[in-house]
Amino acid sequence: MNSKLKNLPLNQVTYTWWFGIILFSLIWPMFVGPYIALTNPSFFGGSEVTNLTLSSALYVARNLAVGLAFLLAIYLRNASMLFILILIRFLTDLIDAPAFFSFRDPDLLGLIIIFSLCCYLPALFGLSFLWKHIKNKS
């Protein structure tokens, strides 16, 4: 085992360039989505007159809270916290894709490609990396 890895505390993760890309792909929607919800209220069924509906407010609050928790976990380099956050994000995306398809009626093939490439695959690779890291450290 690398001596650099041995000196890290038990739960700290080392970042590689590809893990950084995975984290970025999982986190950026947490901040871009709320921005879109606030600047385009019709996306969530509101009108151009109303700025914030209940659904858009809940969406903004949920995503900003999880996004800030991700940033804290990255700053702390906490592998367990990152694992839990990515797992929660993965489960949420498993629910969001069918819900988005049901209520928005988008192109099914495009929806599958976007959710697979931008949500599911990065989450699965990130979970696998963190699981191996946690198991090797314990």
**CA 13, CA 16: separation in Å to the nearest integer?**
10
In a domain, residue 10? The reply is: no
For residue 124, give its domain range: 15-137
Q: How many domains does the chain have?
A: 1
Confidence class of residue 91 from pLDDT cuts 50, 70 and 90? very high
Q: Which of the given ranges, 10-19, 99-108, 121-130, has the highest pLDDT on average?
A: 121-130
In a domain, residue 61? The reply is: yes
In a domain, residue 9? The reply is: no
- The pTM of this model reads 0.80
Query: Measuring CA to CA, how many Å separate 4 from each of 7, 11, 132, 136?
Result: 6, 14, 17, 14
Digit-coded pLDDT (tens) for 38-80: 887 776 665 665 666 777 788 889 999 999 999 999 999 999 9
Tokens of 31: 């901040």
